[in-house]
C-alpha cells in the first residue's frame, strides 16, 4: 500500500518557528512500522515546508496514495480539515485517516461532521494504523481493530486501545523519511548549533496536571524503553552524523535508576551529543543533573507553571515555587548551561496580583536564562476542558475545533488583554536588565555551545528582528 503521512501546518500565512523546527516524531514511528509491514511511505512535514494547500495537494497526488494520514494537534486541526477536504476531492479513492492528540479526543464529532474523513486512530497509532492499512489492503472488516473510530451508518463506532506496553518492540524512527534538516527552537530563534534530531525514550506521564492532555492520552501510564535500546538508537543517529538530540519525552526525569543506566551506556559507548530535555522541577536532583550535564545536556525546559502556590494547587501540579527556585540553582550548580522555565498565567482563580506575583517570582529567579510565559489555553483531553463543559461555561458543539483562552471561558477576575499586556511588558523588563544582559553576554562568550548557536542564527539570517516578530505575534503589541 502507498501511504502518505502529513504533519499539517498551522494554516497561518506566517511560519511558526516552533512548529517548523522540530521533526514530527510521531509520523516517523508510524512510517517505520508501516515500512516494516512492507508498505511504501512518504512523510510530508508541511509544518516545515508551509506549502499552500494547492501545492501540497500536487505533492500528495504525485504519490498516488491509497491512504493519507494526517496528524493533528488542536492548533493545527482546522488546517488538517482543509487539507483532508482538498485531498479527498482530488483523490476520492484514497482513505483519509486522522490521528494525534486532537482527533483522539474528538473522533466522534470529526466523523459525524466531516464525511471526507474515513477513520480516526485514537492514541498511540503504530499498531492500530498498521492493522487499518492491512485491512484496507485485504478488504477485511475494520470493526475488530481496537483504537480505531469509524462510521457505521449514522453512528460512530470505536473500541479503546491501551497504550503500547513493550516500546522496545517498535522499530527505531526512520529519520530518512524526512526531507529537511531540523534544529531546536526558542521563541523563533534557532536553539541548536549542530545537526539536530529528536528521540523518545519513554512514553506517557503519571501526573495529572489539569491543563495537560497527556494524562488522558497515555492513561497516566509511563512506559520506558530499555536503556540498551535507547543508546543503540543514539549509536545509530551518531553514525548518521547527528550531534544534538531533543528528548521529546513528556517527562524524562521520573526514573533515576533508568536514567543512570542510560548515562552510563552513553559514556561507555563514548557517544558525544548535546542534549535538550523537558521535565518537572520535583524530579531533578542535583546529583542526577550533574550526570546529565556530564554526558552533554545543554538545555533543560522545566514546567514551572507559576510562582503562586494557589495557582500551582489549582493546576494540581503538586509542586511549590521554592521547588522552581531550587531546580534552577541545582541545574546551574550541576553545570546545565541553559535553563528555560515554562510558565502559565491566566488561570480563572488568578487575580492581577497573582499574575504579578508570578512575574515578580520569575524576575527573582537567579540563574534562569529564559522564561516562556503562555496564557492558559484549554483544549479537548484536558481536565479543565471537561470542567468547563460540566460547569456549562462552553457549548462543545461550537467550541471543539480549536483551543480557547481559559479567561474567555471561565468566570475570571482578569481579562485576556490585561494578562497579555502584563506578559508583554514583563519580557522587555526581564531582558533589558543590564545585569542580565552582561551575565548572558559573558556566558555566551565562555560557551562554545552558545557561540555555535549564535553563529547558526546569524548564518540563517534569524535576526533579532524575526525573533521579536514571532514574539509580538504571540503577545501582540507593535511589530519591531
Ligand atoms: C515535542 C513536543 C513539541 C515540539 C515538537 C512538536 C512536533 N513537531 O511534534 C514543539 C516544541 C515544537 C511543540 C510545540 C507545541 N506544542 Co507540543 N509537544 C511535544 C511533545 C512533548 C512530544 C511530541 C512527540 O514527539 N511525541 C512522541 C510521538 C511518538 O508521539 P505523538 O506525536 O503523539 O504521535 C503518536 C500519536 O499521537 C499518533 N499519531 C500522531 N500523528 C498521527 C497521524 C496519524 C495519521 C495517525 C494514524 C496517528 C498519529 O501515533 C503516534 C505514534 O504513537 C508532546 C507531548 C506528547 N507526548 O506527545 C507535546 C504536545 C503535542 N504539544 C502540545 C502543544 C499544546 C504545543 C503548542 C501548541 C504549545 C504552544 N502553546 O505553543 C506548540 C505548538 C505546536 C504546533 N505544532 O503548532 C500539546 C498538544 C495538545 C493538543 N490538544 O493538541 C501536547 C500534547 C502537550 C500536552 N501534553 O498537552 N511541541
Under 8 Å between Cβ of 131 and 187: no
CA of 73 to the centre of ligand 1 (A): 6
Q: How confident is the model at residue 453 (pLDDT cuts 50, 70, 90)?
A: confident
CA gap 14, 470 in Å, rounded: 9
Read off the pLDDT of each residue in 470-480 and give the average, rounded to a whole number: 49
Share of the chain above pLDDT 90, in %: 84
* Number of the ligand 1 atom closest to the C-alpha atom of 25: 25
pLDDT at 472 over 60: no
What SS3 class is residue 25? helix
267-290 pLDDT, tens digit each: 999 999 999 999 999 989 999 999
Ligand 1 probe mutation, 125, 145, 225, 315, most atoms within 8 A of CB: 125
pLDDT at 467: 56
Write out the residue limits of the CATH 3.80.30.20 domain(s) in the chain: 183-377+408-474
Find out whether the beta carbon of 66 lies less than 6 Å from any atom of ligand 1.
no
pLDDT at 476 over 70: no
307-327 pLDDT, tens digit each: 999 999 999 999 999 999 999
CA of 18 to the centre of ligand 1 (A): 12
CA of 80 to the centre of ligand 1 (A): 14
CA gap 13, 7 in Å, rounded: 16
pLDDT at 478: 44
Read off the pLDDT of each residue in 389-417 and give the average, rounded to a whole number: 96
* Number of the ligand 1 atom closest to the C-alpha atom of 132: 47
pLDDT at 230 over 70: yes
Query: Residue 138 is placed in which grid cell?
Result: 485485504
Q: Exposed, middle or buried, 138 (CB in 10 Å: 0-12/13-18/19+)?
A: exposed
CA gap 424, 476 in Å, rounded: 8
* CA dist list (Å): 82 to 2, 74, 230: 22, 14, 37
Read off the pLDDT of each residue in 231-252 and give the average, rounded to a whole number: 95
Q: How confident is the model at residue 255 (pLDDT cuts 50, 70, 90)?
A: very high
Domain 183-377+408-474, classified CATH 1.10.3730.10, yes or no: no
Parallel, antiparallel, or unpaired for β 119-121 and 148-152? antiparallel
Read off the pLDDT of each residue in 416-436 and give the average, rounded to a whole number: 93
Share of the chain above pLDDT 70, in %: 93
pLDDT at 14: 53
pTM: 0.94
* Number of the ligand 1 atom closest to the C-alpha atom of 124: 53
Question: Worst-scoring range by mean pLDDT, 27-36, 367-376, 458-467?
Answer: 458-467
CA of 208 to the centre of ligand 1 (A): 17
Find out whether the beta carbon of 124 lies less than 6 Å from any atom of ligand 1.
yes
* Number of the ligand 1 atom closest to the C-alpha atom of 164: 53
Query: Residue 451 is placed in which grid cell?
Result: 557561540
Mean pLDDT of the chain: 92
Question: DSSP state, 45?
Answer: E
Find out whether the beta carbon of 75 lies less than 6 Å from any atom of ligand 1.
yes
pLDDT at 90 over 90: yes
* Number of the ligand 1 atom closest to the C-alpha atom of 72: 41
Write out the residue limits of the CATH 3.40.50.280 domain(s) in the chain: 2-157
Q: What is the CA radius of gyration of the chain?
A: 22
Ligand 1 probe mutation, 11, 66, 100, 404, most atoms within 8 A of CB: 100
CA gap 359, 423 in Å, rounded: 8
Closest CA to 315 of 378, 241, 260: 378
Under 8 Å between Cβ of 23 and 182: yes
Query: Residue 59 is placed in which grid cell?
Result: 505533492
Query: Which residue has cell 515578580?
Result: 360
CA of 396 to the centre of ligand 1 (A): 22
Under 8 Å between Cβ of 423 and 416: no
CA of 74 to the centre of ligand 1 (A): 9
Please give the distance of CA 459 from its chain centroid, rounded to a whole number.
Answer: 26
Closest protein CA for atom 22 of ligand 1: 248
Domain spanning 2-157 has what CATH number? 3.40.50.280
116-175 pLDDT, tens digit each: 999 999 999 999 999 999 999 999 999 999 999 999 988 888 999 999 999 999 999 999
Cβ atoms < 10 Å from Cβ of 163: 17
DSSP letter string, 338-376: EEEEEEEE--TT--HHHHHHHHHHHHT-TT--EEEEEE-
Extended strands (E) in 206-305: 223-224, 244-247, 274-279, 297-305
pLDDT at 178: 95
* Number of the ligand 1 atom closest to the C-alpha atom of 125: 50
Strand-pair partners of 203: 223
pLDDT at 457: 77
What SS3 class is residue 186? strand
Amino acid at each position: 500500500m502507498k501511504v502518505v503521512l502529513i504533519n499539517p501546518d498551522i494554516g497561518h500565512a506566517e511560519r511558526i518557528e516552533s512548529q517548523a523546527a522540530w521533526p514530527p516524531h510521531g509520523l516517523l514511528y508510524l512510517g517505520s512500522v508501516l515500512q516494516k509491514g512492507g508498505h511504501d511511505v512518504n512523510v510530508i512535514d508541511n509544518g516545515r515546508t508551509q506549502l499552500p494547500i494547492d501545492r501540497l495537494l500536487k505533492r500528495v497526488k504525485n504519490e498516488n496514495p491509497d491512504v493519507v494520514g494526517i496528524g493533528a494537534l488542536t492548533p493545527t486541526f482546522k488546517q488538517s480539515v482543509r487539507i483532508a477536504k482538498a485531498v479527498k476531492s482530488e483523490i476520492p479513492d484514497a482513505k483519509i485517516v486522522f490521528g494525534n492528540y486532537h482527533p483522539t479526543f474528538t473522533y466522534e464529532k470529526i466523523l459525524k461532521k466531516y464525511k471526507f474523513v474515513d477513520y480516526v486512530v485514537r492514541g498511540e497509532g503504530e499498531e492500530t494504523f498498521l492493522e487499518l492499512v492491512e485491512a484496507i489492503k485485504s478488504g477485511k472488516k475494520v470493526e475488530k481493530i481496537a483504537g480505531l473510530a469509524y462510521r457505521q451508518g449514522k453512528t460512530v463506532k470505536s473500541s479503546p486501545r491501551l497504550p503500547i506496553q513493550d516500546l522496545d518492540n517498535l522499530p527505531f524512527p526512520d529519520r530518512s523519511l524526512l526531507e529537511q534538516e531540523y534544529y531546536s527552537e526558542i521563541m523563533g530563534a534557532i536553539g541548536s548549533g549542530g545537526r539536530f534530531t529528536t528521540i523518545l525514550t519513554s512514553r506517557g506521564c503519571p501526573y495529572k496536571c489539569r491543563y495537560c492532555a497527556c494524562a488522558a492520552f497515555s492513561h497516566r501510564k509511563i512506559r520506558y524503553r530499555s536503556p540498551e535500546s535507547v543508546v543503540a538508537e543514539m549509536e545509530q543517529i551518531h553514525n548518521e552524523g547527528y550531534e544534538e538530540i531533543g528528548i521529546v519525552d513528556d517527562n524524562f526525569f521520573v526514573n533515576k535508576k533508568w536514567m543512570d543506566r542510560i548515562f552510563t551506556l552513553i559514556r561507555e559507548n563514548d557517544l558525544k551529543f548535546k542534549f535538550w530535555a523537558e521535565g518537572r522541577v520535583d524530579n531533578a536532583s542535583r546529583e542526577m543533573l550533574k550526570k546529565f550535564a556530564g554526558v552533554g545536556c545543554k538545555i533543560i525546559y522545566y514546567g514551572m507553571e507559576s510562582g503562586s502556590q494557589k495557582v500551582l494547587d489549582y493546576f494540581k501540579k503538586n509542586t511549590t515555587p521554592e521547588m522552581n527556585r531550587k531546580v534552577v540553582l541545582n541545574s546551574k550548580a550541576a553545570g546545565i548551561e541553559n535553563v528555560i522555565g515554562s510558565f502559565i498565567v491566566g488561570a480563572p482563580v488568578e487575580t492581577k496580583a497573582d499574575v504579578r506575583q508570578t512575574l515578580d517570582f520569575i524576575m527573582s529567579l537567579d540563574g534562569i536564562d529564559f522564561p516562556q510565559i503562555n496564557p492558559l489555553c484549554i483544549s479537548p483531553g484536558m481536565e479543565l476542558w471537561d470542567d468547563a463543559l460540566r460547569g456549562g461555561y462552553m457549548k462543545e458543539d461550537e467550541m471543539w475545533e480549536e483551543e480557547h483562552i481559559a479567561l474567555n471561558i471561565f468566570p475570571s477576575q482578569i481579562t485576556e488583554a490585561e494578562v497579555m499586556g502584563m506578559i508583554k511588558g514583563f519580557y522587555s523588563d526581564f531582558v533589558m536588565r543590564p545585569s542580565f544582559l552582561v551575565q548572558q553576554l559573558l556566558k555566551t562568550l565562555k560557551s562554545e555551545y552558545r557561540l555555535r548557536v549564535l553563529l547558526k542564527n546569524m548564518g540563517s539570517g534569524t535576526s533579532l528582528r524575526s525573533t521579536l516578530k514571532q514574539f509580538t505575534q504571540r503577545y501582540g503589541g507593535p511589530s519591531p
